[in-house]
Amino acid sequence: MAKHKEATPQTYRKIFDFFNASVMHADCGEQCAPLNGGTPVCCDTENAVPIMQVAEWKHLRTRSKMWRNYKPHDAATLKLTEELADSCKAAECRGAKNCERDNRSLACRTFPFFPYFSKDGKILGLSYYWSFEDRCWVISNMASVKQDFIDEFLKAFEILFEDDHEERDVYIAYSATMRRVFSRWKRPIPVIGRTGEYYMIKPKGAGMKTVKAKKLPTFEPFTSKKAFKKAVKDAGW
């Protein structure tokens, strides 16, 4: 059986050479950090452990000493690292205050989004990791996502999928999982399209519709300034 094609360190070099766009003009880390002890949620391994391909790890290690092996600290994180495929590894950086933006991982550059595939196997646009709805400010402010981020995001994954078909399959499966979960919740899936349009994927395969920005969902505690202020106060920040 022929070995499947895999991404190489050169794949990630090509991606990182152009993928530098910020998600939005605002510093989203300043919005969620007050609810997380002053650290942005996506930069805190208590919330999100960066997972990368070994090929990406090898490339990043040629660029910087910012990354190191992740050390599990409880049963859940030990299980996470033990269940990783041989082609992947868990890593951690030196923290938000010591971030080298040019040497961020692909997961860092894309969070909280992933490429959403339609049922017919086409990339429809960007949707998000739904387990972070209550912690990530960006998810409640999708209308502020910049077009240059969308463009670079999609180009990056197209390069990755060209070099590694199994990575494409991972996101096809993840998109299908999101459809099952949201159908069970009887909720539509928000998606940002290629040119910045917004879609809602209806539950149980009932189709999709284009919506205006004001119809995108928001989640506590980001539903209003009052709710956010109360959450910050309750967090003791």
Average pLDDT, the chain: 94
Question: Based on the structure, what is the number of domains in the chain?
Answer: 1
- Asked if residue 105 belongs to a domain, the reply is yes
- Asked if residue 222 belongs to a domain, the reply is yes
Average pLDDT over residues 174-187: 98
- Asked if residue 126 belongs to a domain, the reply is yes
Q: What is the pLDDT of residue 1?
A: 45
- The strands making up 68-69's β-sheet, listed across from edge to edge, are 51-53, 88-92, 68-69
Assigned token pair, 171: 């996101």
CB 19 within 8 A of CB 101: no
If pLDDT is split at 50, 70 and 90, which confidence band does 28 have?
very high
Average pLDDT over residues 186-215: 96
CA nearest to 93, candidates 120, 73, 66: 66
Spatial distance between the Cα atoms of 152 and 12, rounded to a whole number of angstroms: 13
Q: What is the pLDDT of residue 26?
A: 87
Average pLDDT over residues 184-193: 98
- Asked if residue 111 belongs to a domain, the reply is yes
If pLDDT is split at 50, 70 and 90, which confidence band does 3 have?
low
Q: What is the pLDDT of residue 176?
A: 98
**Tell me: the pLDDT tens digits for 86-120?**
999 999 999 999 999 999 999 999 999 999 999 99
Average pLDDT over residues 3-25: 93
CA nearest to 132, candidates 210, 202, 72, 222: 222
**CA distance between the termini of the chain:** 57
What angle (nearest 5°) sits at the alpha carbon of residue 171, between those of residues 77 and 112? 60
CB 220 within 8 A of CB 227: yes
- Asked if residue 109 belongs to a domain, the reply is yes
Q: What is the pLDDT of residue 61?
A: 96
**Tell me: the pLDDT tens digits for 108-155?**
999 999 999 999 999 999 999 999 999 999 999 999 999 999 999 999
If pLDDT is split at 50, 70 and 90, which confidence band does 5 have?
confident
Which helix (DSSP H) or strand (DSSP E) does residue 91 occupy? strand 88-92
**Tell me: the pLDDT tens digits for 81-92?**
999 989 999 999
Q: Taking the CA atoms of the chain, what radius of gyration do you get in angstroms?
A: 18
- Asked if residue 1 belongs to a domain, the reply is no
Spatial distance between the Cα atoms of 215 and 227, rounded to a whole number of angstroms: 19
**Tell me: the pLDDT tens digits for 47-64?**
889 899 999 999 999 999
Cβ-in-10-Å burial (0-12, 13-18, 19+) of 16 comes to: buried
Q: Which residues constitute the domain of residue 121?
A: 9-234
Per DSSP bridges, beta strands 208-211 and 51-53 are: unpaired
**Residue 113 β-bridge partners:** 128
Assigned token pair, 43: 């930069």
pTM of the model: 0.94
Report the sign of the C-alpha dihedral through residues 29, 77, 73, 8, in that order. negative
